[in-house]
Amino acid sequence: MITVKHLYKSFKSHEVLNDINCTIHDGEVIVIIGPSGSGKSTLLRCLNLLETPTRGSIIIDEQDITNQKVNIDQVREKMGMVFQQFNLFPHKTVIKNICHAPIRVKKMKRGDAEQLGMDLLSKVGLRDKKDVYPITLSGGQQQRIAIARALAMQPTAMLFDEPTSALDPEMVSEVLAVIKDLAKEGMTMVIVTHEMGFAKEVGDRILFMDGGQIVEENTPEELFHHPQHARTQNFLSKILH
Amino acid sequence: MRRSKIKVVRWISIAYVEFIRGTPLLAQVYLVYVGLPMLTQLNIPDFTTGAIALTIHASAYISETMRSGIEAVPYGQSEAARSLGMNSRRTMLDIILPQAFKNILPALGNQFIGNIKDSSLVSVIGIAELMYETTTVRGTTALGLEPIIVCSLIYLVLTLTLTRLLTFIERRLKSSDHR
Ligand SMILES: Nc1ncnc2c1ncn2[C@@H]1O[C@H](COP(=O)(O)OP(=O)(O)OP(=O)(O)O)[C@@H](O)[C@H]1O
Ligand SMILES: [Mg+2]
């Protein structure tokens, strides 16, 4: 379980997160929506400490990860992250992209790591791409590899920051399908996306953010069909039409 | 070093690089030749002072080349590595440096070739390197042009060998660039 309490984040004097509070239960899929610049990425990046919060706490399984004494690398091992730009390692083949961290960080045996890597490649439907370099792959394929790479660390939760925004439209669904599979398996996930249909389908709960705050949170059904706040209504009317 | 978070380290390295880049190698060679024995009160062989001067000179340029290579690797690479739980050292060694090295290899090659040629300058402090010998040969044999041509050819062989070697390495590293 992840609990965020009174989280603030500023860049210089620019306040980007302003008193964020939320709880993410194990196995839950949270989808964050909101206008550009509302702080969605920043919140996500705070959850694995790619950004250091200015104030407040993030408690993961009873450990406050904002505490100075916490080993950041160990926190990140447990928290997979998938980026908009895939960020595969261009100098490594697909299987090495996936196996590198398990071998180097988790000290997994090479054979075991490769077995795990092949299982994950099957899961994302790219077994035959094992030995190619990322540059030879389409965007959708690269993103599926990036998901496999994050899963290889066997994280307890996954963070997705607009995983399909950099993709050509025809490749969006193949990536969303992989994420939906993960949801079915009960993976805890926090997903920032502009794909409202997907949000509705996969999300257990939707958080609507605006101006660095969580303005409204609810089930997809309620939030999309009966938004309570004017700002939510305004945003949805713009994005759904 | 110039990318260091510690201010003093950053200042010193900026000053060092700017000084080396802003003054002629010839002046630096003399500076080490004259200055180093004075500072250390030791009798340092000429060859050592020459080598020290060239090293100080080359490392300033190489460090700048490396810095630009590291900074050219997209920030997302480092974030991806860190988010997999790799620490900063591991990230630098396994993810950033291999990509940076590949980017700067051509520049680094030019650098080495330049260094070989620059080494001719230390003849001024009496080190018997190629250029010095050439001058000696010219003095003793009264030949005008020939020793200089021979000397240039030897340099050419050295640099060409290096160029070929670098082209080979570059081609090996490019294997991940092709579709
Ligand atoms: N490293 C940074 N330094 C300074 N300002 C930043 C930095 N990162 C983000 N910001 C600012 O913080 C605000 C929120 O950014 P964030 O990326 O979290 O928004 P977002 O909701 O993810 O937007 P988008 O939908 O465009 O991705 C923006 O105004 C942005 O300019
Ligand atoms: Mg964003």
C-alpha dist (Å) from residue A135 to A100, A132, A164, A209: 18, 8, 18, 35
Q: Does B84 contact A at CB distance below 8 Å?
A: yes
ipTM of the assembly?
Answer: 0.92
Of A77, A92, A146, the CB nearest to B85: A77
State whether the beta carbon of A142 lies less than 6 angstroms from ligand 1.
no
Q: What proportion of chain B, given as a percentage, has pLDDT over 90?
A: 18
Confidence (pLDDT) at B129: 63
Gap between the Cα atoms of B135 and A125, Å rounded: 70
Q: How far is CA A193 from the centre of its chain?
A: 9
pLDDT averaged over every residue in chain B: 80
The predicted pLDDT at position B1 comes to 61
d(CA B11, CA B8): 5
Is A233 at the interface with chain B, CB within 8 A?
no
Mean pLDDT by 10 residues, chain A (241 residues): 96 94 96 96 96 95 92 94 96 97 96 96 96 95 97 97 94 96 96 94 96 96 94 90 67
A44 CA: nearest ligand 1 atom: 18
Q: Å from A228 to nearest chain B CA?
A: 36
Is A58 exposed, middle or buried (CB count within 10 Å of its CB: 0-12, 13-18, 19+)?
buried
Q: Residue B125: what pLDDT? A: 63
Rounded Cα distance, B92 and B78, in Å:
8
* Sequence-ordered list of residues with C-beta below 8 angstroms from that of A125, at least 6 positions apart, any chain: A144, A174, A178
The verdict on the CB of residue A41 being under 6 Å from ligand 1 is yes
Per the CB < 8 Å rule, is A105 touching B81? no
Question: What confidence score (pLDDT) does residue A125 get?
Answer: 95
Residue with tokens 């920032």: A192
